[in-house]
Structures are given as structure tokens and as C-alpha cells.
């Protein structure tokens, strides 16, 4: 799965902001790379207080990105190219500019009280202020887990359930294949708003985990099943055992896939990664509980930046694509992009996440293949010319080609796609595992330090893919990763 942040992908209109046509004209990049599906961060109409995660009309494309016709054309071309299209669905909150906020106050979470005292200690996600805003006109508090411009919907109201199911049907009727569902673990919170434990730092977004959400997800799943559509939920609980419950059961299925972010937050350290992988192998197994892996997205510094070197970024990519589960790529990681350095006067995001959202360079020329005209909405990432897709396509040693070979190795191997996972005994600094499916067997060695990998493998093995391009046994000694297959 390949995540596109539409504002940053490619601008075709000259306003400095990426758009749907920018993605449509680069679908060939995705096909060449070898991904199966694309998820678009929000494209619905929005005042952009949170860059689209504040929706003011669930059935319109924001004019910044194009029109409904542009979306239809994009979906049709993606389908013709063999790619599925998932949209981002934002069910926990709307924009304060959504007409519902004025016309249907019963759609939101309100608490009576006195203007000086918020109803509880809950803190909004992006700052340290209360997750409550006082509405002067109504003389009541409303809940906002994120910005005050993003009031939380009240899913205990059946009219909200029906209206939000309608927003899914609107896009499914147009032929989209499914949804990434924003902070979907929070939708069931209702009116029971308990104080949080001190260790939860009063941030409800990482703590809300209530039974009603599961009932709601079963209802959402029934809508998706009518269309044969899929879902991946953003369950922002940093606890794999809890995340696993959001897949539901075979009798009462919920999400098709869920993000599981402990790996996203793991440092580049073999012991930590071993523990994260063990948790997944323990909790995300059995019918309907297929894991996901994410190293980068639009909310955190890119893993190239976090891990500090391209060798590690490549080794991380080997983990991403060879562990048991569905890998999620964030547009630009295949170019090895680092976060942009954003000077304070150009910072725009209330959550401080501008760096990873820097525009994608398509060509080495100035403007990097964007339409030109207005300056891009954020600064370019470092080395944009050399990192551009065009420059790297011309160099088979580039990280871009490496990702292509990695995805091809995965596609060509039932073991890597869906095989069982087993650790191999190894030096503690090495992650060594095998994946098997029938007679297909692959071994993966990820060496996280300068120490040589000493893994006792019986039989003859061939290097299928090495992050530094080496093809002999010396590949086992680099600060990188290799995939082996029986020769």
C-alpha cells in the first residue's frame, strides 16, 4: 500500500499545492515501483485547519485538489493500471465549518457546566490545552480531541451513524475500493468520559478503548461488505494486544487491517525490534488478524531522518517488506527523502509535522516537475535534485531501484508475501528470520550494527537482494540487510 499526501505529491495548476491530476499523471511511477494500492490522505472539502483532517463536506472534493470528475478520472485510470484506491475517511470529528455543527448540534459531544471549568482533564492532541471549547452561543462545552476547529462527533446518536454510513456509500458508489479510517478507535467514546490515568498524560487519543467502538465498527464493516470494499483503521493505541481486538472476530468482523504503531515508534535497535515483532507474532495471528507495518507517514519524521543513514533506511525497508503483514509506504520513502528543514516563518502545521510533508521532487530541474508559478507550500527536502524520481530512475544503484527490486522479490515469493514467520538463532545484533510457504523458503538477515552476521544456515544460499547491491557472502557483513533464497 502506497500513501499519497496529495498536497505534496505534484502540483499541476501552479498554486504550489499538489492535486489529483498530479497523482493521475504519475500513476506510472506507482506501477513501475510495483505497489498494489494507493491511499490518499483527505481530499474532501476542508478549511484546512488540519490540512484536510477537518472535513466540511464529506461528499465534495476540495477545490484545491480538483473536482469530483478529476477523482473519477483518477480512480478509472488507477483501476485500468491495476491499482486499488483507498480514500481517507475522518469519522471521529468534522470541521467546525461543517453545516452539521450549526444545524445539528445533536451530532456532537456537549457537556453542560460553567465556563471556567472544563468537564474533565482531557488534553487536546496537538498542544497542552483542554480538549474542550466553550461555545458562547450555546453556553456549553464541546469536545475536540484535536483542534477546537475539529469538534468530535457523537456516535451514540443513531442519526450520526446513519449520516456517516452515508458518507461511505457516497464514495463506494463512485467506485473507490475502501478507506483508511482516521483515529477510528475513538468513535465510540460517547458520554462516558472518564478521567485518564496519570501515565496516559491525559491525552485521550492514545487511551480511548471502549466496547461501543467495536459495535460501531461491526456496522461499518457491514456497509463495506455490501461493496466488497476494504478498510485499514488508524487505531492509535500503542499496545498490540489491544490493537488486535479491532479486527473483530470471524463471527463479528470489524477492520480488515489496523495500523499498529509500536514499530513506527521503535528506535533502530535490534532488541527493541525483536520485541515489537514478537508482540505482532503473538497477537496478530489467526483468522482475520493480518498485521500491517509502517515506517513513515505524514505524522512523524521520515524513517530516513529518524534512523540517520540511507543504509539503515534501506535495511528498514527490508524489514517492512519481509515481515509477515502488509507494508505501507509513504510517498517519497522510495526516494530516500529526508524531512525538509522548515524555517519558523514557513511552518504551517499546528502539530509540527511539516518536515515529512515536504513536496516530492520529480525532476532534477528547478521546480522539480511541479507546475511552477507559486512557490511550493513547503520547502523542498534536502538534495531534492539528486533525490528526484527522474535522477534516481537513471541510476540502478539508487534507493528507488532498491525499493523496486524489494517489492519484486516480495511479489515473486509466496513465502515473503504470506508465509509463516520463524526466528533463526543469531548474534543479538542481527535480526534473522525465515519465511516459509509450502516449498518456498526465504531467509532475511538484518544486521543492525557493524558486527558481522554469523547465522548458521545449512545448505546453499544465494543472495536475492542486498541493500548495498553486493551479491556475494560479504553482503552478510554490511550495516544493512539481505534476503536469501536456497540456491
Sites of contact with ligand NOJ (CB under 6 A): 50, 53, 90, 146, 182-183, 234, 298-299, 351
- 70 vs 182, which CB is nearer to ligand NOJ? 182
Give least dist CB 297 to ligand NOJ, A: 7
Give least dist CB 476 to ligand NOJ, A: 38
- 349 vs 440, which CB is nearer to ligand NOJ? 349
Give least dist CB 48 to ligand NOJ, A: 11
Give least dist CB 42 to ligand NOJ, A: 8
- 72 vs 299, which CB is nearer to ligand NOJ? 299
Give least dist CB 150 to ligand NOJ, A: 7
| Dist CA 321 CA 210 (whole Å) | 32
List CB contacts of 254: < 8 A, sequence separation 6 or more.
214, 217, 218, 220, 221, 233, 246, 247, 248
Compute the C-alpha angle 226/4/290, nearest 5°: 50
Give least dist CB 28 to ligand NOJ, A: 27
- 233 vs 327, which CB is nearer to ligand NOJ? 233
Q: Which residue in the shown chain puts its C-beta closest to ligand NOJ?
A: 53
Give least dist CB 125 to ligand NOJ, A: 7
- Please pick, among 19, 70, 182, 279, the residue that the annotation labels catalytic: 182
- 151 vs 369, which CB is nearer to ligand NOJ? 151
- Please indicate whether residue 458 is annotated as part of the active site: no
- Please indicate whether residue 60 is annotated as part of the active site: no
Give least dist CB 350 to ligand NOJ, A: 8
- 289 vs 353, which CB is nearer to ligand NOJ? 353
- 90 vs 416, which CB is nearer to ligand NOJ? 90
* CA distances in angstroms from 470 to 89, 267, 279, 477, listed in the order given: 43, 26, 32, 10
- 264 vs 277, which CB is nearer to ligand NOJ? 264
Closest Cα partner for 231 from 102, 87, 341?
87
- Please pick, among 106, 226, 395, 474, the residue that the annotation labels catalytic: 226
Residues annotated as catalytic (active site), given as ranges: 182, 226
Amino acid at each position: 500500500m502506497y500513501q499519497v499526501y496529495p498536497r505534496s505529491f505534484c502540483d499541476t495548476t501552479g498554486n504550489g499545492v499538489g492535486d489529483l491530476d498530479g497523482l493521475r499523471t504519475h500513476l506510472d511511477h506507482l506501477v513501475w515501483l510495483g505497489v498494489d494500492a494507493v491511499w490518499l490522505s483527505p481530499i474532501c472539502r476542508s478549511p484546512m485547519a488540519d490540512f484536510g483532517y477537518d472535513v466540511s463536506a464529506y461528499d465534495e472534493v476540495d477545490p484545491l485538489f480538483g473536482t469530483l470528475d478529476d477523482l473519477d478520472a483518477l480512480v478509472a485510470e488507477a483501476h485500468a493500471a491495476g491499482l486499488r484506491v483507498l480514500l481517507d475517511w475522518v469519522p471521529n470529528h468534522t470541521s467546525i465549518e461543517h453545516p452539521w455543527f450549526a444545524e445539528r448540534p445533536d451530532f456532537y459531544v456537549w457537556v453542560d457546566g460553567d465556563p471556567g471549568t472544563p468537564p474533565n482533564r482531557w488534553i487536546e492532541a496537538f498542544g497542552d490545552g483542554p480538549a474542550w471549547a466553550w461555545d458562547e452561543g450555546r453556553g456549553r462545552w464541546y469536545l475536540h480531541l484535536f483542534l477546537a476547529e475539529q469538534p468530535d462527533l457523537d456516535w451514540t446518536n443513531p442519526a450520526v451513524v446513519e449520516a456517516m454510513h452515508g458518507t461511505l456509500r457516497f464514495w463506494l458508489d463512485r467506485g473507490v475500493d475502501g478507506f483508511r479510517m482516521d483515529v477510528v478507535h475513538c468513535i465510540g467514546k460517547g458520554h462516558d468520559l472518564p478521567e485518564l490515568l496519570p501515565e496516559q498524560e491525559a491525552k485521550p487519543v492514545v487511551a480511548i478503548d471502549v466496547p461501543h467502538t467495536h459495535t460501531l465498527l461491526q456496522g461499518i464493516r457491514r456497509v463495506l461488505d455490501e461493496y466488497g470494499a476494504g478498510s485499514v483503521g488508524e487505531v492509535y493505541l500503542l499496545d498490540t494486544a489491544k490493537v488486535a481486538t479491532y479486527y473483530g472476530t470471524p463471527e463479528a468482523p470489524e477492520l480488515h487491517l489496523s495500523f499498529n504503531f509500536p514499530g513506527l515508534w521503535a528506535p533502530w535497535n535490534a532488541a527493541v525490534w525483536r520485541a515489537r515483532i514478537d508482540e505482532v507474532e503473538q497477537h496478530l495471528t489467526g483468522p482475520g488478524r493480518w498485521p500491517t507495518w509502517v515506517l513513515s507517514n505524514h505524522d512523524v519524521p521520515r524513517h530516513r531522518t529518524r534512523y540517520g543513514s540511507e543504509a539503515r533506511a534501506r535495511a528498514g525497508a527490508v524489514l517492512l517488506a519481509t515481515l509477515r503483514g502488509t507494508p505501507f509506504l509513504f510517498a517519497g520513502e522510495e526516494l530516500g527523502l529526508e524531512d525538509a528543514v522548515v524555517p519558523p516563518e514557513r511552518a504551517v502545521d499546528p502539530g509540527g509535522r511539516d518536515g515529512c510533508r515536504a513536496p516530492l521532487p520529480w525532476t532534477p530541474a528547478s521546480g522539480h516537475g511541479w507546475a511552477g508559478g507559486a512557490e511550493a507550500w513547503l520547502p523542498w527536502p534536502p538534495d531534492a535534485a539528486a533525490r528526484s524520481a527522474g535522477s534516481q530512475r537513471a541510476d540502478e544503484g539508487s534507493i528507488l531501484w532498491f525499493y523496486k527490486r524489494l517489492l519484486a522479490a516480495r511479489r515473486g515469493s509466496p513465502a515473503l508475501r504470506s508465509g509463516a514467520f520463524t526466528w533463526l538463532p543469531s548474534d543479538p545484533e542481527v535480526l534473522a528470520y525465515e519465511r516459509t510457504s509450502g516449498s518456498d523458503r526465504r531467509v532475511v538477515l538484518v544486521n543492525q550494527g557493524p558486527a558481522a552476521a554469523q547465522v548458521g544456515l545449512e545448505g546453499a544460499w544465494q543472495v536475492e537482494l542486498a541493500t548495498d547491491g553486493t551479491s556475494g557472502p560479504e553482503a552478510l557483513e554490511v550495516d544493512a540487510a539481505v534476503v536469501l533464497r536456497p540456491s
